[in-house]
Amino acid sequence: MTYRYVLSGLAAVTLLAAIGCAPAEEKKLAEPARPAPPAAALTGADLDGVAKAEKPFKLALIVKTRNNPFFDPMIKAAEQAAKELGVELEVQAPPQEGDKEIQFSMVQNVVAKGVDAILIAPADSKGIVPALKQAADKGVLVINIDNRIDAASATAAGLTTGGYVGADNEAGGILAGQAMAGLLGGKGEVAILEGIRGADNAEARKRGFEAGVKDKLTVASRESAEWDTQKAYAKFQSMLAAKPSIAGVFCANDKMAIGAMKAIQEAGKQGKIAVIGYDNIPDVKAALAAGDLKATIEQHPDLMGRYGVKMAVGMLSGRLAKGGEFLVPLEVITK
């Protein structure tokens, strides 16, 4: 049986405040920059109210890779929404999630072709900013989905996006941390297999997990496996050799969880180490059913794809004001 625990954006904010996860204090500047105004919260009803486009707008969806099944439902939902709204949608993706230079070039290429809007799930939250600024300067609407563009880099470059559709990744990390603390009875050593360091979603998930286990579990080891299964397998082998007392591991995506589970099995520790992943991809369904994967965080990529297209068309049509934000619901999926 699968249980789902939903955390809304508002509940996430409340939870963060309750456990004292305030943002780190910023360094003082000679001339402090004015904080950006908070994004206007949009609901599913707001976005579903976007009607068929009056013009055949051209949109481009650029995700991190098609090599991760997480992006499949996002792409399919985006394509379906584009069909319903009568707009064109071109989908592009680098071969691997770390191919940030290729993604940068893809942004430049679709702008050269002539698109009205780009929906971008950045491989590099900071590195993609110059390409997006070039696009925005040419009148292309930029909708950020999934992994957030780095806010400080965007501000420094003068980049203003149309809006954001995605998850509160820090809240998702907190849910994973709370689930791990519950599984281990509030005591023990755990490890973290991080995504690409510097990527907004990777940093937020790690930060959230650490907050979720604070004063309950000890994070004994942290390594970046860059979202990759094979790297996670090798990294966790080394982590287990160095810290045989590890009782649990949080993997910032399910592909890394698959690698960690392989390392656990080969070490003869199957059933002795709690594994929690993130994304709820089809490849981990069997592991969840068997109990090898104790939990994973569902963040509804299909809604990101659907509502990303809806947001773009709504803003291009003047039906939605720019600066809106829609946060998808988060769920802890367990056996």
CATH number of the domain that residue 134 is part of? 3.40.50.2300
Phi-psi region of 158 (alpha: psi -120 to 50; beta: other; left: phi over 0): left
Do 263 and 240 share a domain, yes or no? yes
Neighbours of 277 (CB within 10 A): 30
Q: Total structural domains in the chain?
A: 2
How much is the pTM?
Answer: 0.86
- Print pLDDT tens along the chain (335 aa): 444 444 444 344 333 333 333 333 333 333 333 344 567 899 999 999 999 998 999 999 999 999 999 999 999 999 999 999 999 999 999 999 989 999 999 999 999 999 999 999 999 999 999 999 999 999 999 999 999 999 999 999 999 999 999 999 999 999 999 999 999 999 999 999 999 999 999 999 999 999 999 999 999 999 999 999 999 999 999 999 999 999 999 999 999 999 999 999 999 999 999 999 999 999 999 999 999 999 999 999 999 999 999 999 999 999 999 999 999 999 999 98
Do 95 and 178 share a domain, yes or no? no
Residue 17 placed within a domain: no
Do 50 and 163 share a domain, yes or no? yes
Do 154 and 85 share a domain, yes or no? yes
Q: What angle do CA 217, 221, 223 make, to 5 degrees?
A: 130
Residue 269 placed within a domain: yes
Residue 250 placed within a domain: yes
CB 231 within 8 A of CB 259: yes
Residue 37 placed within a domain: no
Do 153 and 129 share a domain, yes or no? yes
Query: For residue 16, which phi and psi values (nearest 5 degrees)?
Result: -60, -40
Query: For residue 316, which phi and psi values (nearest 5 degrees)?
Result: -65, -30
**DSSP symbol at 327:** E
Do 78 and 182 share a domain, yes or no? no
Do 117 and 218 share a domain, yes or no? no
Domain assignment of residue 154, given as a range: 43-167+300-319
CB 187 within 8 A of CB 274: no
Do 286 and 314 share a domain, yes or no? no
CB 313 within 8 A of CB 61: no
